[in-house]
Chains A and B, each alone.
Chain A
Amino acid sequence: MNVFLRPNLARCLWVTPFTSLIFMSLTLFIRHWVGMTPIYDSQQMLTVGYISGVLGFLIGIGAFDTWFPWMIGAPTRPEDHSQHGAYSWRDYFRFNTDHKVIGLQYVTTTFIAFFVGGMFAEIFRAELAHPGQDFITTQQYNGFMSQHGTLMIFTFLVPVFAGLGNFVIPLMLGAPDMAFPRLNALSFWLLPLALLIFLSSFIFESFEAGWTGYPPFSTTGPMGETLFEIGIQIAGASSIATAVNFLVTIITMRAPGMTMFRMPLLVWANLATSALVVAATPFIAGAQFMTMFDRVFGTQFFVPSLGGDVLAYQHVFWFYSHPAVYIMVLPGFGIISEVISVMARKPIFGYRAIAFSSAGIAVLGFSVWAHHMFASGMEDWLRVPMMISTMLIAIPTGIKIFSWLGTIWDGVLRMNTAMLFATGFIFTFVIGGVTGIWLASVPFDYHVHDTYFVVAHFHYVLFGGSVMTVFAGVYFWYPKVFGRMVDERLGRLHFWSTFIFSNLTFFPMHWLGLEGMPRRVADYDPAYEGWNTFISISAFCLGAGMLFFVYNMIHSARHGAIAGSNPWGALTLEWQVSSPPPIFNFDVPPRVVGGPYRYGEPGAQHAIFPEETVPVHEPAHV
């Protein structure tokens, strides 16, 4: 078959614009038929074009090749596993149902978003190095600032954990793949689309309302704001689909003997996170639908003159976006539990306490959203309950921190790069957590609301917290993914530059905030100049340090030392198969016989592989 007809990226090249054009003409026709004048409305055309373009891309890549015939009852191909597994580099650029391929696709895409978003931060940090307008306009500043937040949150921190989890979790459970492999591939391919949609808004003047997209700025802002709203829907759909997949996989596809309390803690963390994603993400979808309808259809959700209430947006938005903070850090907690236990050669301290505290954070996470709105003029009676529930979250988080410290205590520590990042994470995350408690108290929040203190706080929890765990995870599982070791020397350089310069970048922001420097401004009072220049220089060094990481990742994939199946001497199941793992993970279903962290027990095993191997041809389930 011609390359433009087979399901691949080449087919996307024509199917995507074709679908867009069909739906755009249909819109013109409907507007003409209903009698609207003018027939052409640029907002509507853009919205229809982009959404149908996403559909077209998915058709082109082959996401619906199996589902369409199935829907209309046509004879379907028997599953021949032709979409499963990577046999050449080309397999990473097509609709692949193998969770290991999808995991790598996910992590690569999200890291591209990370570096692009980081670059935007460097650009506006350069502008902020000195007071006054230097080389970007205020609109461009708003654009870069909004893109930085949006890319980092929606296309890096939320999906990168889905990517790491995708690679690791089926292996940890002893399963051959995720529960719904095609849905898994579909949810991956939505992600680069969301990234492209966000970035393409630069063509139409980028969105400027920040990653929060508060109306009325977002409902009256430039054209790019519509693309922000569409991009969020796409990224959100991707994360809901992945979360459903994780939940079903974790609940139904555990290897025999893998009881709930024999699951590794990363699996527990992903279980809690996925439950959060499923229950919370639709709220941001709802909030973005409303602002999009205001822009595209002229509804009055947030138009104050006709009864629209912008506070309603903030309520709906934060009802997702506060749980989203835990979506962005809970899987990281899981990674830290894995890394610390393996590298300290000790059973994890308080397994059930860590598992249940994840669940506790997930539940409490829904009761704290209005702490972002203390100064917004919302209902007074909401403040104190939200303050108390926010402070309560420190309890399950503290349980985790002390459990990790308890695990490290008296352990035989192996301070390699993954462990350095794990311990560095504990240090920086505790700083972010402590300022979180300060911000939870209403009077203090009134003082520092919308200042650099808040910026410092969430960069400590998101960069010093989540990103450090991502790096810990990447360095920890790299030998499993590529079968080769990373260069430890470069890894340490990367860790120390990241650790030192992130603290130098984000810590002075506390002082600026306490002195009253507002966030999200392109220019500031010359009184704040000294620390701002310092922060900008540290931020450039922080960015430059990432080059060690990029070089290390690319170089070690080909030239690193051969890792062998289990370089860290870990007990969990993903380390019991070859590196990289076989295409179908396990030749024989493993049998789980004990807990995953039995380090220090002589002869302890987490799982065994029964002797009888029966070659089979039918899939595990249909």
Chain B
Amino acid sequence: MAAHAEPAAHAEHEHHGPATYTYQPNPFKLDPTTLGLVIFLTSEIALFGAFFLYYGHNRLVRHYEWPQPGFEIPANGTAFNTAILVASSFTCELVLIMLVRNLRRAAIAWMIVTILFGSAFLGLQAREYMEIGFTPQTNAMGSSFFSLTGLHGAHVFLGINLLVYCLIRLWRGHFAKDRMTGLIITSIYWHFVDVVWIVLYTLVYLLPSHT
């Protein structure tokens, strides 16, 4: 309340805005935005970690069967899904490559392909949900399966949103070779979503407790 009690102290501040700085160089050689995203992603890893911890506890400590007796987990069908998501990671990188070469139209095209791949992944995942035969309410392993894939799906959805924002800004020419932080952090996020899926696919789909 009294931070403004001494107007005299501010009287000489004619210019509006902070002083210009050359900061002490940081050890990571990253700009603040990218560094912030990378730190945020460690927090995301921990969030997935909480759900993996629950899943691992049920599998390793409680020795629950997975998939539960009478159900099947479509590892082969989802392999196609996985391939689409991995491919989208590459097309996302192509957007950056095209932009660095000043090929804006190609960048837009690859961005659209990336968004379509991401949406296709979500659509196939939704179909899998309907056909898998159990629901989150069936039992604890069902809850675990749907929460892990659902949390990942929510991240894919958010990622698609970010890609769409980037597409709009790409369309309007906001990004250029030397001005693409927004695109870079979106692509890092998209790769992260992809890597999480590969881990999830391995642990949940490829490691059933009985064959």
Contacts and interface: CB of A to CB of B under 8 A. Distances in A.
B4 interface: yes
Interface of A: 71-73, 80-81, 86-89, 92, 100-101, 104, 175-177, 179-180, 240, 244-245, 247-248, 251-259, 278-283, 285-287, 289-290, 293-294, 297-301, 303, 306-309, 311-312, 315-316, 319, 379, 481-484, 557-558, 578, 580, 582-589, 592, 614-621
Nearest to A560: B2
Nearest to B170: A73
A615 B14 contact: yes
B13 A583 contact: yes
Interface of B: 1-6, 9-10, 12-24, 26-28, 30-32, 35-36, 39-40, 42-44, 46-47, 49-51, 53-54, 57-58, 61-62, 64, 136-144, 146-147, 165, 168-169, 171-172, 174
A298 B147 CA distance: 13
A12 B179 CA distance: 35
A180 B39 CA distance: 13
Contacts of B49: 282-283, 286
Of A101, A175, A247, A280, most buried by chain B (CB within 10 Å of CB) is A247
A299 B50 contact: no
A578 B24 contact: no
Contact of B19 (A176, A251, A303): A176
| Shortest 8 CB-CB contacts between residues of A and residues of B | A286-B50, A176-B18, A282-B47, A307-B140, A282-B46, A615-B15, A299-B143, A254-B24
21 contacts: A100-B3, A252-B26, A252-B30, A252-B32, A278-B43, A278-B46, A282-B49, A287-B50, A294-B143, A298-B137, A300-B138, A301-B140, A307-B139, A308-B139, A312-B54, A312-B58, A316-B53, A379-B61, A481-B3, A482-B5, A584-B17
A46 to B, nearest CB: 19
B139 A300 contact: yes
Contact of B47 (A73, A285, A308, A616): A285
Contacts of B46: 278-283
Contacts of A589: 19-22
B130 to A, nearest CB: 12
Given A176-B18, A251-B35, A619-B18, A578 B9 contact: yes
Contacts of B50: 282-283, 285-287, 289, 316, 319
B53 A319 contact: yes
Given A255-B23, A306-B138, 12 more contacts: A100-B3, A252-B30, A254-B23, A255-B21, A279-B43, A282-B49, A283-B47, A298-B136, A307-B139, A308-B143, A557-B2, A578-B9
Nearest to A294: B143
Contacts of B142: 299-300
A247 B27 CA distance: 13
A256 to B, nearest CB: 5
B17 A617 contact: yes
A163 to B, nearest CB: 14
Contacts of A92: 1
B47 A248 contact: no
Given A101-B3, A176-B21, A300-B139, A72 B51 contact: no
B118 to A, nearest CB: 17
Nearest to A86: B3
Contacts of A482: 1-3, 5
B15 A248 contact: no
A308 B140 contact: yes
Contacts of A592: 24
Nearest to A98: B3
B7 to A, nearest CB: 9
A299 B64 contact: no
B36 A180 contact: yes
A316 to B, nearest CB: 5
A88 B15 CA distance: 19
Contacts of B6: 483, 578, 580
Contacts of B137: 297-300
Contacts of B43: 240, 244, 278-279, 281-282
B39 A247 contact: yes
Contacts of B26: 251-252, 254
Nearest to A246: B39
A285 B53 CA distance: 13
Contacts of B28: 251
A252 B23 contact: yes
Contacts of B23: 175, 252-256
A88 to B, nearest CB: 7
A425 B174 CA distance: 54
Contacts of B57: 309, 311-312, 315
Contact of A307 (B3, B44, B141): B141
Given A247-B39, A589-B20, A303 B140 contact: yes
A101 B1 CA distance: 9
Contacts of A618: 17, 20
B137 to A, nearest CB: 5
A236 to B, nearest CB: 10
Given A287-B50, A293-B136, A580 B18 contact: no
Of B15, B36, B53, B137, most buried by chain A (CB within 10 Å of CB) is B36
A170 to B, nearest CB: 10
